[in-house]
Amino acid sequence: MSQYVSRLGGSISGRIAAARSTRHEPPRLRLPAVGHSRKPRRVAMLSVHTSPLHQPGTGDAGGMNVYIVELAKRLAAINIEVEIFTRATTGGLPPRVELAPGVLVRHVDAGPYEGLAKEELPAQLCAFTHGVMQAWAGHRPGYYDLVHSHYWLSGHVGWLAAERWGVPLVHAMHTMAKVKNAALAEGDTPEPAARVIGETQIVRAADRLIANTAEEADELVRHYEADPGKVAVVHPGVNLDRFTVGDGRAAARARLGLPQDAVIPLFAGRIQPLKAPDILLRAVAELVDRDPSLRARLFVPVVGGPSGSGLAKPEGLQKLAAKLGIADVVHFHPPVAQDRLADWFRAASVLVMPSYNESFGLVAIEAQATGTPVLAAEVGGLPVAVNDGVTGILVPGHDPVDYARELRRFLDEPSLTDRMGAEAARHAQFFGWDTAASGTADVYTAAMHDHRRRVRSHHG
């Protein structure tokens, strides 16, 4: 599903409309012919603030971790070696860990191991860059063909590394300060001006920018004046070997000890205002207030740990459940490994994602791959991830009453979960990681071709 957004200017918006009108399979855009260009042999991938070895759903680990791990493995499978540089967050870590054949994780010492918030990391970028340069100094010239940085903090290190090594920089934003600040949850902390400036610099410096969706590509052009010719759209994938329908909903509920006859709206993700788990709780309270008999039929799991601005009030959601009078209905579980998460998805009647912003919303595809529909906010990449009215339901805005109304449908129509779930499992098949890796490799090839041509013309 690799897509290439060429020099379209304002017409990217038209592509979003096209993607939404045929959400089940977004339109494909072709890469330009790049002659005899070769794909890279080895890529330096940068993930400063979160390690691919960390458990998703806790701290700053989330969809981006899954993205980096899965993409790196699939790139290695098509003979592109990947070395992932990440900040060491505990002492005594080995400097190098083989994640998979052809994928190496390098731990870089930069700042104190424990207790350093993401917001404090800009001060450690110099130390991190030093660590990356030290690793590079031990190799022959031309060891890395390309730098692929993830998130703006890594982008700054990538910018310097790519310049120093004479190779192209490919950058993936994952989230953008200007977009997040335009859709803040009530009382949430806006992203600082330093991040906006940093992101603007990276957009200008990168040879290619990878966006998850056409909408994100449009936001890069609109908010950051990105050159449309440098923006490529590659949808993230889902591990279709792990996230499967498997032996079905009843078996998954039995394994997890969940009630067989309950309606189970699941929240899975980092607990922070941006992800809006409170909206699910308020919607459930609305349902129970209107019809107390529903209390016995609802079982609401919240699977995940506090993160970001949610760390300031780690017990905030539990207190909200008590205040709303639904503490007996809501069940909190710490983050779980991916295989266990697949069972939670299978067990659910519907995954609920009321987020204020999602660059893509990987869990939406993961849940659908297990045969579970998604009830989500109509934001960011979710209109691409969810086929509205077919594989799930998209809600404009964040009013708990609207979510309560849609949840009521799953209570009133027991067949809705199975009907939408069957379509969801089919829809998810379009989002394999092999397709994402192939699309990313195409972007790498184009970036290297343009970079070599620019160097030749500069020297000519």
Annotated binding-site positions: 49, 55-56, 60-65, 118, 151, 175, 195, 270, 275, 336, 345-346, 348, 358, 366, 372
DSSP string covering 363-382: HHHHHHHTT--EEEES-TTH
Residue ranges for the binding site for UDP-N-acetyl-alpha-D-glucosamine? 55-56, 63, 270, 275, 336, 358, 366
100-106 long-range contacts, CB within 8 A, separation 24+: 100/72, 100/73, 100/76, 101/76, 102/75, 102/76, 102/77, 103/72, 103/73, 103/76, 105/51, 105/52, 105/53, 106/135
Rg (CA), the chain: 22
Residue ranges for the binding site for Mg(2+)? 345-346, 348, 372
Contact call for residues 348 and 372 (beta carbons, < 8 A)? yes
In Å, what is the CA distance from 346 to each residue of 264, 366, 411?
11, 10, 17
Backbone angles phi, psi at 268, to 5 degrees: -135, 120
Could you give the CA distance from residue 108 to residue 105 in angstroms, rounded to a whole number?
A: 10
Residue ranges for the binding site for 1D-myo-inositol 3-phosphate? 49, 60-65, 118, 151, 175, 195
Q: What is the DSSP letter of 399?
A: -
Q: Which of 362, 344, 310, 275 is CA-nearest to residue 69?
A: 362
For tokens 């939406």, what's the residue?
Answer: 364
For tokens 């995940």, what's the residue?
Answer: 304
Residue 86 identity: T
Could you give the CA distance from residue 392 to residue 233 in angstroms, rounded to a whole number?
A: 23
Angle (deg, nearest 10), helices 125-137 and 151-165? 40
User: Can you say whether residue 417 is alpha, beta or left, with left for phi > 0 and alpha for psi between -120 and 50 degrees?
Assistant: alpha
